[in-house]
Structure formats: C-alpha cells, structure tokens
A and B are shown apart, each in its own frame.
Chain A
Amino acid sequence: MLLLLLLLLLLIKSSLGFKTFGFGFFFSSAWDPLHDVFGALPFIYGTIMSSLIALLIALPLGLSCSIYLAEISHSKFKEHIATMIDLLAAIPSVVYGLWGIFVLAPALGGPSLLTGGVILSIMLLPTITAISREVIQAVPHNLRESALALGATKWETFKLAVFGPALSGIVGAVILGLGRALGETMAVTMVIGNRPAISPSLFAPAYTLASVIANEFAEATSEVNLSVLVELGLILLVITVIVNGIARILVWKTTGHKK
C-alpha cells in the first residue's frame, strides 16, 4: 500500500519529465541541465554496473567467509571475527567514502566505476557474510549428522546437507546486499567520478541514479530538471522491485517444489 502511494507520488511528480522526453528518456545519454536536455541511460548503466561489480567481489568473499566462520573455524577468535565483520556494517557510508577518496581511488587510478564497485563490495561484505553465516548455522544439526553418518567428509557434508537448505537464505542475503548496493548514495558519489557517460572502460568515471539525485536535487533550477530527477528515482525504485522479484523467483525455484 505504502509502496503504491510512493509510486503514485513519484509518478505525479515526474509526469512533466515523462511528457517532455517520453520513452526516449530511458535510452538517451544526453545530460545538459543548462539547456534542459536529459537522458537516463548513463545513470541506469552506472547503477547496475557498480552493483554488479560489487556483487561479483562480495559474493565469493562473503560466502567463503561465512562458510569458514560457520563450518570450519573452531578458534575462540571466531566470535570476535564475526563481530568485527558485523561492525563493518555499522560504519557510516560517508566514512567509507572518505577512505575511498584517500586510499582506494588513488590505488585504482582515480575515481571510476571500478572504484565505486569496490567500495560497494566492502559495504556489502558484512551483510552477505553475516546473513549467510546465520542461515548456514540455522541448518539443523541432525542433517549434518545424517551426512556424516553416511561417511561424508566435512566438505561433502556441507555440499550434501547444508548448502541446499541454506541456499534460499543465501540468495536472500545477496538480494539484501544488492538492494543496498543499488541505493547506496554517499560513498559511491564520493568515488565514482560523477560523469554521466557510458564508457566501456571500468576505469572511467561514471554516475549512478542515487548519486545524481543527491547531487543535483538541491541545485535543480527548472521544473523539468526537478521532475526528471524524480523520474530517475522512479527508475531506481522499479529496478529495486525487479531485482527483488527475480530474487523471489530464484528462492521459489530452489525451495518452491516443496508444496
């Protein structure tokens, strides 16, 4: 219901932009606030690409981290490591942004799509690790013992008895992370370069939907400009909903045969 109201509001507020540019808006790369010419494509590209890069880095890292913490480590530091990872999630994104500007961006050759993706991946890591670890630990102990009793090794036990039941939860963790990546504004804005252009190079500056809204909303002078920014917000919302929808389908496909 709330979502519908929100959608309605965004639709009304962005109607001017939609009327002016039509569907061409989604496929245009132009962005010239001075002459009131706008296109959304570079932002859509930047948002999706930076999130994908983040996921590509954070998923294998986070998943192996959580498997290690939940299944392998018997060290007494295990809990501390987990707490430290959880703590990563509590760091304000603007602080990540500062670190990105001073450390990460110089290391990666300046602000770029890649820098934005890497910063995002660090921010996703705690989410994916913590949730995956929880769901892996939540798999009933007697399933593990059943696999062990069949003569499975530790790794085979994980594959046989743990991964399957935990999979839907892991997908959930990924989606939660992806949701955060798509909408993350501050840290990305600080390191991605904020240039509305689509470049084949990952080392070129880019721009995301969230960043452009944050950067330009206060300075938008014309009504068309404002309405276009709202429209970008609408696109961001739709992308998020679609991603969640895909996730639901994935989860349903892996566990849904049940009933």
Chain B
Amino acid sequence: MDRVIEKVKKEEKMVIERSKMSVENLSAWFGDKQALFNINIELFENKVTAIIGPSGCGKSTFIRNLNRLHETISGAKVSGKVYLDGRDIFDHNCCDVVTLRRRVGMVFQKPTPFPTMTIYENVAAGIKLYGKKPKGKLDQIVEQILKQAALWDEVKDVLYKPGPSLSGGQQQRLCIARALAIEPEVILLDEPCSALDPISTAKIEELIHKLKQNYTIIIVTHNMQQAARVADYTAFFLLGEMIEFEVTSKIFTAPQDKRTEDYVTGRFG
C-alpha cells in the first residue's frame, strides 16, 4: 500500500497529499457471501477518488462501508479498519454512527428527495436533525446550500413545491444539497448520474469539480469517461478485490495490471 502511495506522489510531483480516510484490510459480507476482500486504499483530502469496475464488483458495498450503511442490511458483516482523520470509524469508543454519517454524507444512485416534503424542507431535513434553528437563519442556510449545489437559480421561485416535482437531474442536485446541508467533510456519491441524461450529468460533474475545494469526494461510477473527467485518483475493483489504485490519468493510459487494462479498454465489463 505504501508503495502505491509513494508511486502516486512521485507521479504527481507535488506536495504530499493528506489522507482523509484510510482503509485497511476491509472485508465485507452479505450473510455468507463475501463481497469485499481485504481492501486497502487512501482517500485524499480535497480530491475526487473514483471507484470503477463492472457491476457486482463491490464498489457500492465499499463506499457504503465508509459511512457504515452496509451494516444496516440484515445479515451484513464487516471486518477491517477505516480511519477518518486517523480514528477508526468502527471503534465504538471513539465514534458513534450518527456523528460519522454527519461527517460523511452520501448521495444515492436514484434521486431520493423525501416525497412528501417541499424543496425547502428537503434541504432543511438534515439541519433540523441537529437542533432547531430560527426560521430566518434557516432560510439563509437553505439559500446558501442551494447556491452551493448550483440549484438556487432554478428553484428559488418554487421552494415550497414538493421535491419530486423537479426533473431527475434537479432532484439529484437537491439530494446533493440535502447532503451538503449538514456540513459533511466527505461526500460519497454512489453512481449519482446513472439515472440522468447527459446534460444533467454534465451539471453534476461541474458541481463535483467545484465541491472538491471544500470536500473530499468519493464517486462510484461504471462510466469510465466520467471517472476520467472528474477524478484525481481512480481505483479499479473486480470481484470484490481492488485491483489497482492510481492517479486517474495513469489508470487510463498506463495501467499496471492486465485486468485493469482489459477493463478500461473495453474488453469486458
């Protein structure tokens, strides 16, 4: 693992990256079926890391472990360590799961605005979990967050309409806004564009570019062009194992592993 990081650093010829999340020997199971095998990876601060690989390779399971959502499925098990700023998220003495999920936000594949809530309420939903705020202050935060999510101009006149009345792409940006509203440090994106059209996808990718100045972003995608466009680092997963982790350009131009090469050149997957 250290070797890989060294290589990464050399390749970039830049200041040493700060590791925001560090994963050690992470394995995960659904019942008896093992879905992840000894994953080791560093997720660097203020960088976008893409996880690519064919369907069923464990990439979603992997990021669902970073906010411990994997464990909520009945029969799911996990072993190994995941450090967030040097502290193990599975260690019950140091971190509770609510605080973890507040620091590590997540956006899902299908846009999931809360259907009975307005756009405004959707953005405010997470904020309200952490204590009441005066209405004026809340208004301010909602506006600021929606601007951050590049959605404000499109929704400022329909704030009190239900979330699902928006288009798919807008709904997904609303979900990003909802995740941003609780001021996370890391954002997990689980195939955020796979249900969207190209224009909406472009908007989300633009947003990812903007957001990485303030957040550490991990994006799962089965779209290799997307990984190439948005990610600084890319990890290739296959059958529950991490095959290769490199600077994105390297993964796509000079992959070390034959399997990575086969995948990125479109020979399978």
B162 near A151 with CB under 8 A, answer no
Q: Which residues of A contact B67 (CB under 8 A)?
A: 149
Residues of B bordering A, CB below 8 Å: 67, 69, 72, 74, 97-102, 105-106, 108, 110, 112, 114-117, 125-126, 129-130, 161-162, 164-165, 175, 178-179, 182
Known: A149-B69, A151-B101. A164 touches B117 (CB 8 A): yes
Interchain residue pairs with CB less than 8 A apart (27): A74-B74, A142-B110, A142-B112, A145-B72, A146-B108, A146-B114, A146-B178, A147-B125, A148-B69, A150-B101, A150-B125, A150-B126, A150-B129, A150-B182, A151-B98, A151-B100, A152-B98, A152-B129, A153-B98, A164-B114, A164-B115, A164-B116, A165-B116, A255-B116, A257-B162, A258-B162, A259-B165
Identify the closest chain B residue to A167 (Cβ): B116
A150 CA / B180 CA spacing, docked (Å): 10
Identify the closest chain A residue to B178 (Cβ): A150
Q: Which residues of A contact B101 (CB under 8 A)?
A: 148-151
Whole-angstrom distance from the CB of B193 to the nearest CB of chain A? 16
Identify the closest chain B residue to A161 (Cβ): B114
Q: Which residues of A contact B116 (CB under 8 A)?
A: 164-165, 167, 254-255
A151 near B114 with CB under 8 A, answer no
A149 CA / B110 CA spacing, docked (Å): 14
A146 near B102 with CB under 8 A, answer no
Whole-angstrom distance from the CB of A165 to the nearest CB of chain B? 5
Known: A149-B106, A151-B101, A151-B126. A258 touches B164 (CB 8 A): yes
A142 CA / B175 CA spacing, docked (Å): 12
Given contacts A150-B129, A151-B101, 7 further A-B contacts (CB under 8 A): A143-B114, A146-B178, A149-B101, A149-B106, A150-B125, A151-B99, A164-B117
Query: Does A32 reach chain B (CB closer than 8 Å)?
Result: no
Q: Which residues of A contact B164 (CB under 8 A)?
A: 258
A165 near B115 with CB under 8 A, answer yes
Report which residue of B69, B125, B164, B175 has the largest number of chain A beta carbons within 10 angstroms of its beta carbon: B125
Residues of A bordering B, CB below 8 Å: 74, 140, 142-143, 145-153, 156, 160-161, 164-165, 167, 254-255, 257-259
A142 near B108 with CB under 8 A, answer yes
A164 CA / B67 CA spacing, docked (Å): 25
Identify the closest chain B residue to A162 (Cβ): B114
- Give the 10 A-B residue pairs with the shortest CB-CB distance, closest first: A164-B116, A151-B101, A149-B106, A150-B126, A151-B102, A146-B112, A151-B98, A142-B112, A165-B115, A258-B162
B114 near A145 with CB under 8 A, answer no
Q: Which residues of A contact B102 (CB under 8 A)?
A: 150-151
Q: Which residues of B contact A156 (CB under 8 A)?
A: 129
Q: Which residues of B contact A151 (CB under 8 A)?
A: 97-102, 126, 129-130, 182
A143 CA / B105 CA spacing, docked (Å): 15
Identify the closest chain A residue to B96 (Cβ): A151
Identify the closest chain A residue to B104 (Cβ): A149
A160 near B110 with CB under 8 A, answer no
Q: Which residues of B contact A161 (CB under 8 A)?
A: 114
Question: Which of A150, A152, A258, A259 has a CB less than 8 Å from the CB of B105?
Answer: A150
Q: Which residues of A contact B126 (CB under 8 A)?
A: 150-151
Whole-angstrom distance from the CB of A128 to the nearest CB of chain B? 21
Q: Which residues of A contact B162 (CB under 8 A)?
A: 257-258
A156 CA / B125 CA spacing, docked (Å): 10
A160 near B114 with CB under 8 A, answer yes
B105 near A145 with CB under 8 A, answer no
Whole-angstrom distance from the CB of B110 to the nearest CB of chain A? 6
Whole-angstrom distance from the CB of B191 to the nearest CB of chain A? 12
Q: Which residues of B contact A258 (CB under 8 A)?
A: 115, 162, 164-165
A154 CA / B67 CA spacing, docked (Å): 15
Q: Which residues of A contact B72 (CB under 8 A)?
A: 145, 148
A160 CA / B163 CA spacing, docked (Å): 14
Whole-angstrom distance from the CB of A36 to the nearest CB of chain B? 54
Identify the closest chain A residue to B127 (Cβ): A150
Identify the closest chain B residue to A149 (Cβ): B106
Identify the closest chain B residue to A254 (Cβ): B116
Identify the closest chain A residue to B64 (Cβ): A145
Q: Which residues of B contact A150 (CB under 8 A)?
A: 101-102, 105, 125-126, 129, 178-179, 182
